[in-house]
Amino acid sequence: MNYDEFLTLIIVTHRSDKNLLENKLNKLAPFFRTLIIENSNDKSLKLFEEKYSNVKVYFVDNTGNGGGINQGLRLTKTKFAAYIDLDIEIDKPDIDKFVQRAEEIKNFAILIPNLDNKYKTNEIKECYEFTGSMMFLNLENLKDVGEFDENIFLYYEEYDFAHRCKILNKKIFLLPDIKISHKPSSSVKVNDEKINDLKVLRQWHFMWSKFYFFKKNFSYFYALKKTFPDFFVNLVKLIILFPFNKNKSKIFYARLEGLLNSIIGKRSSKRL
């Protein structure tokens, strides 16, 4: 099958490990039209356009992972798009399986793989809570859903998008036989001094996004109810760890800070 007019791959990066990116492109770019959305001004990625005829690189303001996906979808002209995190292991045969299932199922909005064999089932089933590290999107069926919420910088953007799909009866299906491994947070290349800063950033945004998701889609008081245990647990851990382990205590402080910023309605503004 000639995929050029059928499917576009979208990879969102932010000063990511170039070796990891090149490894991914070596496996996929010869077969699929591929868009790299770089959330920075790292012009060195232009070299991938020279190396792979099927690859286009675009530089955008850093509006987070969801914002990067949105930009990729706006640039996509094909019927289907596949969003791929750099930190998953995926090959052409896996994409071929998605295409085969898409032709069989037809009436779907998103197809998702069985990441790390988490789902112990042999049957294709609807699923609206998942890690969005790989999503096969039917763009025609997603027109009414809108874009990923760019108020969310990291985490819960796929939950929010899937929630809207469910409300609008846009089907999301788990494909249990497509098993893909996932190594979270392995795509960003930072030196040892920055590793803890990156962990702090991620935990800040995880709690900010968790409260925002429940507030937006349910109610403010429901969001308080869902996150109060997080507030209590993280406060206790911060108090216990602070005198003995400053680096680890920063994680729990970040979780509390992110949650409190979301509760009082501040934007998800924290960056490295």
Q: pLDDT tens digit string along 213-262?
A: 999 999 999 999 999 999 999 999 999 998 888 888 999 999 999 999 99
Q: Which domain holds residue 224?
A: 192-263
What the block records as the tokens of 221 is 């008081």
Gap between the Cα atoms of 170 and 152, Å rounded: 22
User: Is residue 15 domain-shared with residue 136, that is, in the same domain?
Assistant: yes
Decide which of 180, 203, 227 is a domain's last residue: 180
User: Is residue 79 domain-shared with residue 132, that is, in the same domain?
Assistant: yes
With 80 as the cut, is the pLDDT of residue 113 above it? yes
With 60 as the cut, is the pLDDT of residue 269 above it? yes
Query: Coil, strand, or helix at residue 237?
Result: helix
Decide which of 128, 146, 180 is a domain's last residue: 180
- pLDDT digit string (tens) for 56-110? 999 998 889 999 999 999 999 999 999 999 989 999 999 999 999 999 998 999 9
What the block records as the tokens of 26 is 């070596």
User: Is residue 123 domain-shared with residue 221, that is, in the same domain?
Assistant: no
Residue 268 counted as domain residue: no
Residue 271 counted as domain residue: no
User: Is residue 138 domain-shared with residue 225, that is, in the same domain?
Assistant: no
User: Is residue 88 domain-shared with residue 43, that is, in the same domain?
Assistant: yes
Residue 270 counted as domain residue: no
User: Is residue 54 domain-shared with residue 99, that is, in the same domain?
Assistant: yes
User: Is residue 120 domain-shared with residue 25, that is, in the same domain?
Assistant: yes
Q: How many domains does the chain have?
A: 2
With 90 as the cut, is the pLDDT of residue 154 above it? yes
Please give the model's pTM, rounded to 2 decimal places. 0.93
Strands 125-126 and 80-84: unpaired
Residues 4/34, Cβ–Cβ less than 8 Å: no
Q: How many CB atoms lie within 10 A of CB 40?
A: 14
Provide the pLDDT for residue 186.
56
